A and B are shown apart, each in its own frame.
Chain A
Amino acid sequence: MVSDHYPILVNDHEFLGESVLDEKSVLYFREDERLSLKSQNISSAMVQDDLDALLSLGKSKDGFVKHKLRRPVWLKILKNRLSLDHYSEQGKDGAELAKHSDEHQVSLDVRRSFGDIHDSAAKTFLRQALEQTVVRVLRTFPLLNYYQGYHDVVAVFVLVFMHTHKTEDEVDLSDSTTSGTPSSESSEHHETLSSSSISTKLSDDSVLFIDSEQLFESVAIFTLLYLRDFMMNSLTFTIDQLALIPIIVKKNDPIFHKTFQLHEIDPFFALSSVLTLFSHDLRPQSNESLSIVFQIFDLVIASNSMLVPLTIYSNLLLAKKEDLLTRLHENLENFDNDTDLIHGVIQQEMIVGSSIRLWNEVLEATRASADTISVEVKKTVNKYSVLLTDSQTPVSVDDTLNWLTKEIRLNELRLALGHRNSSAKNTPSKTSKWKAMPNRRGPFLVRMSLIVGIAAILLKLYMRSFEGHQGYHLLPLRSCFDQVRSLKFAGLQLPPKVWLDPLKNVLKNIGGPFNS
Chain B
Amino acid sequence: MSGIRTVSSSSANVKSYDSIMKILLVGDSGVGKSCLLVRFVEDKFSPSFITTIGIDFKIKTVDINGKKVKLQLWDTAGQERFRTITTAYYRGAMGIILVYDVTDERTFANIKQWFSTVNQHANDEAQLLLVGNKSDMESRAVSTDQGETLAKELGIPFVEASAKDDTNVNNIFFLLAKLIQEKIDSEKLVGNAGRDGNVNIGSSGQSSKSNCC
Q: Could you tell me which A residues sit within 8 Å of B by CB distance? A: 105, 108-109, 111-115, 123, 145, 147-149, 151-152, 233-235, 239, 258-259, 261, 264, 266, 268-269, 271-272, 275-276, 280, 284, 328, 332-341, 343-344, 347, 422, 424, 461-462, 465, 468-469, 471-476, 479, 497-504, 506-514, 516
Contacts and interface: CB of A to CB of B under 8 A. Distances in A.
A142 B113 CA distance: 27
A513 B88 contact: no
B50 A280 contact: yes
Contacts of A509: 84, 87
Given A109-B51, A112-B49, A347 B57 contact: yes
A108 B52 CA distance: 12
Contacts of B85: 235, 239, 268, 271, 422
B213 A471 contact: no
Contacts of B90: 507
B166 interface: no
A343 B79 CA distance: 20
A114 B51 CA distance: 11
A271 B51 CA distance: 13
A106 to B, nearest CB: 11
A283 to B, nearest CB: 9
B3 A340 contact: no
A334 B18 CA distance: 9
B88 to A, nearest CB: 6
B201 A340 contact: no
B64 interface: no
B207 interface: yes
B195 interface: yes
B56 interface: yes
Contacts of A148: 29, 51-53, 77-79, 81-82
Q: Chain B's interface: helix, strand, loop or mixed, by majority?
A: loop
Q: Which of B22, B83, B206 has the most CB of A within 10 A?
A: B206
A259 B198 contact: no
Interface residues of B, number: 64
A115 to B, nearest CB: 4
A427 B82 CA distance: 23
Contacts of A275: 53-54
Contacts, number: 207
Contacts of B51: 109, 112, 148-149, 151-152, 280
24 contacts: A108-B29, A111-B48, A113-B48, A114-B48, A115-B46, A149-B53, A235-B85, A261-B205, A268-B55, A268-B88, A335-B72, A335-B198, A347-B56, A422-B84, A468-B212, A471-B3, A472-B3, A475-B2, A497-B211, A497-B213, A498-B213, A508-B88, A513-B117, A514-B117
B195 to A, nearest CB: 7
Q: Which of A344, A499, A516 has the most CB of B within 10 A?
A: A516
Interface string B12-50: 010000001010000001100000000000000010111
A149 B88 CA distance: 20
Contacts of A151: 51
A516 B208 CA distance: 25
B92 interface: yes
Contacts of B6: 471-473
Contacts of A284: 50
Nearest to B205: A338
Which 8 residue pairs are nearest across A and B when measured between Cβ atoms? A336-B92, A271-B54, A272-B53, A473-B3, A115-B48, A465-B212, A108-B30, A498-B213
A102 to B, nearest CB: 9
Q: Which of A113, A479, A507, A510 has the most CB of B within 10 A?
A: A507
Given A148-B79, A503-B8, 15 more contacts: A112-B49, A147-B79, A266-B88, A337-B197, A337-B198, A338-B197, A340-B72, A340-B89, A422-B85, A473-B2, A473-B6, A506-B121, A507-B87, A511-B84, A516-B120
Contacts of B117: 513-514, 516
Contact of A461 (B72, B199, B205, B213): B213
Contact of A504 (B22, B72, B206): B206
B81 A462 contact: no
Contact of A472 (B7, B29, B197): B7
Given A114-B48, A266-B88, A514-B113, A336 B4 contact: no
A390 to B, nearest CB: 24
A269 B57 CA distance: 10
Contacts of A424: 206
Contacts of A147: 79, 81
Q: Which of A266, A424, A461, A509 has the most CB of B within 10 A?
A: A509
Q: Which of B209, B212, B213 has the most CB of A within 10 A?
A: B212
B26 to A, nearest CB: 11
Contacts of B113: 514
Given A148-B29, A337-B91, A507-B87, A280 B53 contact: yes
B196 interface: yes
A149 B195 CA distance: 34
A432 B91 CA distance: 29
A259 B201 contact: yes
Contact of A336 (B56, B91, B210): B91
Interface in B62-97: 70, 72, 74, 77-79, 81-85, 87-93
Nearest to B3: A473
A111 B50 CA distance: 9
Interface string B180-213: 0000000000000001111101101111011111
Contacts of B30: 108, 111-112
Contacts of A475: 2-4
